[in-house]
Chain A
Amino acid sequence: MSIEAGREKHPAAVPGTDVAAAAQGARPSASDPGEASLRATDLTLGFGQRAILTGVNVEIRRGSVTALIGPTGSGKTTLLRTFNRMNDKVAGYRHSGDVLLDGQSIWHPGVELMALRRKVGMLFQRPNPFPMSIMDNVVAGVKAHRMAGRGELKSIARDRLSEVGLWDAVSERLKDSPFRLSGGQQQLLCLARALAVGPEVLLLDEPTSSLDPIATESIEALIRTLVPALTVVIVTHNLAQARRVADRTIFLNNGRLVEHGETGQMFEDPAEEETARYVSGRFG
């Protein structure tokens, strides 16, 4: 049937031990925190004739939190969605240059898209639970990738929900709808869902922009606990949030990557005048 034509194979190529380990939540250890997890080389992105970002060269360090900041429309989301190839099917999207994950191009023909997205997880601007029970939400990816047997699902769900601090709130209603949870709880559920497939990299696109300050605080605290086991890239329009959670910060503006450095240095002593104006609020 034509619907299934686009179906890709399951990540059977991944050695069984790796899959099992991922299901248990063990992540690749950050052996060398300084090394690049993601690397963009001469990356140019656009939609149709319009260039969104040109000539981006950047390294995302393994085991650290990197913030992507810049004014609205500067291409933060476009760059982030490029990292797990979410834009590949978007009409008009084009890219040149390359993105390497652990040294290998994400567009290499040998890369399985489904396996790539298992390694590079994503959290969206607004919580997006699936129309199934809370429990099924957490293990949806685990089931799709056939990473664990039926008997293990419950314990995986409990571990991941505990990890995001949601277990006590939902342990009595795992079979209930996720849509009755608060916005913050829904976003935590989505985080648990993303963590359950054992990603190496987590992409967060303004994950707290729809949440209240308390929920925002708990998500931020959680992000800090994810490193150095994971590599986190977070898009935020909230500069204070970038300062609170990010080790390193990337500033995008006018279709270019303007500056990349230690978060503290970026905010206190930026190299570029453009950055200085943006982070001090004297922009435009």
Chain B
Amino acid sequence: MAQSAPVLRPGGEAGYGPLPRRAGARLRASLKDGTVIRWFGAGGALIPVLALGFILVILTVRAWPAIRYNGWGFFTGTTWAEGNLYGNSVRTGGVLHPPGAAYGALPAIIGTLGTSAIALVIAVPVAIGTALVIVERLPKRLASLVGGFLELLAGLPSVVVGLWGAVTFGPFIAHDIAPLIARNMPDVPVLSYFRGSTGNGQGMLVSGLILAIMIIPIVAATTRDLLGQVPILPREGAVALGMSEWETTRRVTLPWVGGGIVGAVVLGLGRALGETMAVAMTCGAVLSTVPSNIYQTMTTIAATVVQTMDTAFLDGTGFALRSLAELCLVLMLITLTTNVVARLLVRRVSGTALPVGRGL
């Protein structure tokens, strides 16, 4: 470090005198030329990477015996059972577990993906529409007022939303909305999942809608900020070409920040995949059944973890907790995968036109 100090100094030609002798002087010099700042910066930039790697490693180590014992059946099985916690522990292939323990995460995985899909399908158009109205339609004062409320809404505690969903929103959907949909859906593949018994207000659709309500403010607030940054010049160019307002929005304004909007949606998706309390309160918490239609009670990964945490601690072998760690690992992998896929998508879509920070 001491020897290489002059090399690191940018534009060091001017200061290429003899090396400063005292440590204090050396420190002062490296403070001045930015070496110290750069080291701090590099450290700071590494923290997220290290944190992510650390969590993945810890989870994997914790879950390892469960991964070995549960095998691939973890992804195909539908039973989530801790086994007989009061019986004598059994050792299978070197893994200690209660007799009768069986862990299949398929219902939770399907529930997680299903509720998040419902949430995205509803939230993305509503959020983008909301952001557009705020930026392009509302007068300035009203726009900042509505925007402020949006940010407030984004910070609403999920337990509040969950309680409202369980007590008011869920029953409303089950009694007044779901029957209408169920009765009118044709009996064809995919759409047949919208038919059948509509439940009592706890289930996949209600949880998905609750998630939509929770991520709309997040996506809308971010999109609003992005839209506010689109310069006037290309938009005027579209207007001068005789495009209508909607065409200008669709062909110029939205594509201008398209990559950013995908980022906002991924942010919302991450929230939806991992949201725990509001879903646990509205999903019905049925751990071992794959729902046969979108109204049925079900569970998600996060909801399963929070619902079975107490029981898991009672497992003297620790196997239940290890299985929960495995479940969390699956959730992390789903989140990371969607993130990476979205990023690749952005790169493909905006490879020909990524104007932010360029041109103009």
Bound pair: A and B?
Answer: yes
Measured CB to CB, the nearest residue on chain A to B136 is A3
Question: Are B251 and A7 in contact, CB atoms less than 8 angstroms apart?
Answer: no
Asked if A178 is an interface residue, CB under 8 A from chain B, the answer is: yes
Chain B residues with a Cβ under 8 A of chain A: 129, 132-133, 136-137, 233-234, 236-247, 249, 251-252, 255-256, 258, 350-355, 358-360
> Can you offer 8 A-B residue contacts whose CB atoms are under 8 A?
A3-B136, A3-B137, A84-B240, A127-B359, A131-B256, A177-B352, A179-B359, A190-B237
Asked if A37 is an interface residue, CB under 8 A from chain B, the answer is: no
Question: Are B246 and A130 in contact, CB atoms less than 8 angstroms apart?
Answer: no
Asked if A1 is an interface residue, CB under 8 A from chain B, the answer is: yes
From B239, B244, B350, B359, give the contact of A186 (CB < 8 A): B359
B350 to chain A, nearest CB (A): 8
Asked if A141 is an interface residue, CB under 8 A from chain B, the answer is: yes
A26 to chain B, nearest CB (A): 18
In the complex, which residues of chain B have a beta carbon less than 8 angstroms from the beta carbon of A86?
A: 236, 239-240
The 0/1 profile, CB within 8 Å of B marked 1, for residues 140-172 of chain A is: 110011000000000000000000000000000
A36 to chain B, nearest CB (A): 22
A232 to B348, CA, bound (A): 40
B124 to chain A, nearest CB (A): 15
A132 to B252, CA, bound (A): 8
In the complex, which residues of chain A have a beta carbon less than 8 angstroms from the beta carbon of B233?
A: 124, 126, 128
Q: A4-B246, A127-B359, A132-B251 are in contact. List 5 more A-B contacts (CB 8 A).
A: A6-B244, A126-B360, A128-B237, A130-B234, A186-B359
Measured CB to CB, the nearest residue on chain A to B230 is A131
A10 to B350, CA, bound (A): 29
Asked if A56 is an interface residue, CB under 8 A from chain B, the answer is: no
Asked if A226 is an interface residue, CB under 8 A from chain B, the answer is: no
A81 to chain B, nearest CB (A): 9
A133 to B353, CA, bound (A): 6
Question: Are B359 and A132 in contact, CB atoms less than 8 angstroms apart?
Answer: no
B240 to chain A, nearest CB (A): 4
Stretch at the interface among A66-74, A111-119, A263-271: A111-119
Asked if A2 is an interface residue, CB under 8 A from chain B, the answer is: yes
In the complex, which residues of chain B have a beta carbon less than 8 angstroms from the beta carbon of A140?
A: 238, 241, 243, 251
Question: Are B352 and A129 in contact, CB atoms less than 8 angstroms apart?
Answer: no
In the complex, which residues of chain A have a beta carbon less than 8 angstroms from the beta carbon of B354?
A: 131, 177, 179
Asked if A60 is an interface residue, CB under 8 A from chain B, the answer is: no
In the complex, which residues of chain B have a beta carbon less than 8 angstroms from the beta carbon of A79?
A: none
A128 to B238, CA, bound (A): 9
Asked if A229 is an interface residue, CB under 8 A from chain B, the answer is: no
Chain A residues with a Cβ under 8 A of chain B: 1-4, 6-8, 11, 84, 86, 113-118, 121-122, 124, 126-133, 140-141, 144-145, 175-180, 186, 190, 193-194, 197
Measured CB to CB, the nearest residue on chain A to B231 is A128
From B137, B247, B255, give the contact of A144 (CB < 8 A): B247
A129 to B233, CA, bound (A): 9
CB within 8 Å for A176 and B352 given contacts A124-B233, A129-B234: yes
A132 to B251, CA, bound (A): 8
CB within 8 Å for A197 and B245 given contacts A128-B234, A132-B255: no
B283 to chain A, nearest CB (A): 32
In the complex, which residues of chain B have a beta carbon less than 8 angstroms from the beta carbon of A7?
A: 244-246
Question: Are B133 and A131 in contact, CB atoms less than 8 angstroms apart?
Answer: no
Question: Are A3 and B249 in contact, CB atoms less than 8 angstroms apart?
Answer: yes
Question: Are A124 and B236 in contact, CB atoms less than 8 angstroms apart?
Answer: yes
Question: Are B137 and A2 in contact, CB atoms less than 8 angstroms apart?
Answer: yes
- Counting chain B CB atoms within 10 Å of each CB, which of A116, A140, A145 scores highest? A140
Measured CB to CB, the nearest residue on chain B to A119 is B242
A132 to B53, CA, bound (A): 37
In the complex, which residues of chain B have a beta carbon less than 8 angstroms from the beta carbon of A129?
A: 234, 359
6 tightest A-B contacts by CB? A179-B359, A117-B242, A122-B240, A131-B353, A128-B237, A141-B241
A208 to chain B, nearest CB (A): 16
In the complex, which residues of chain A have a beta carbon less than 8 angstroms from the beta carbon of B129?
A: 1, 3
In the complex, which residues of chain B have a beta carbon less than 8 angstroms from the beta carbon of A4?
A: 246
A283 to chain B, nearest CB (A): 29
Question: Are B243 and A144 in contact, CB atoms less than 8 angstroms apart?
Answer: yes
A145 to B233, CA, bound (A): 21
In the complex, which residues of chain A have a beta carbon less than 8 angstroms from the beta carbon of B252?
A: 130-131
Question: Are B352 and A121 in contact, CB atoms less than 8 angstroms apart?
Answer: no
In the complex, which residues of chain A have a beta carbon less than 8 angstroms from the beta carbon of B234?
A: 128-131
Question: Are B133 and A2 in contact, CB atoms less than 8 angstroms apart?
Answer: yes
A113 to B242, CA, bound (A): 7
Question: Are A121 and B359 in contact, CB atoms less than 8 angstroms apart?
Answer: no
In the complex, which residues of chain A have a beta carbon less than 8 angstroms from the beta carbon of B360?
A: 126-128, 179
In the complex, which residues of chain A have a beta carbon less than 8 angstroms from the beta carbon of B133?
A: 2-3
Question: Are B242 and A115 in contact, CB atoms less than 8 angstroms apart?
Answer: yes
Question: Are B243 and A141 in contact, CB atoms less than 8 angstroms apart?
Answer: yes
A46 to B136, CA, bound (A): 24
Question: Are B352 and A133 in contact, CB atoms less than 8 angstroms apart?
Answer: yes
In the complex, which residues of chain A have a beta carbon less than 8 angstroms from the beta carbon of B350?
A: 131
Question: Are A114 and B237 in contact, CB atoms less than 8 angstroms apart?
Answer: no
In the complex, which residues of chain A have a beta carbon less than 8 angstroms from the beta carbon of B352?
A: 132-133, 175-177
A86 to B351, CA, bound (A): 32
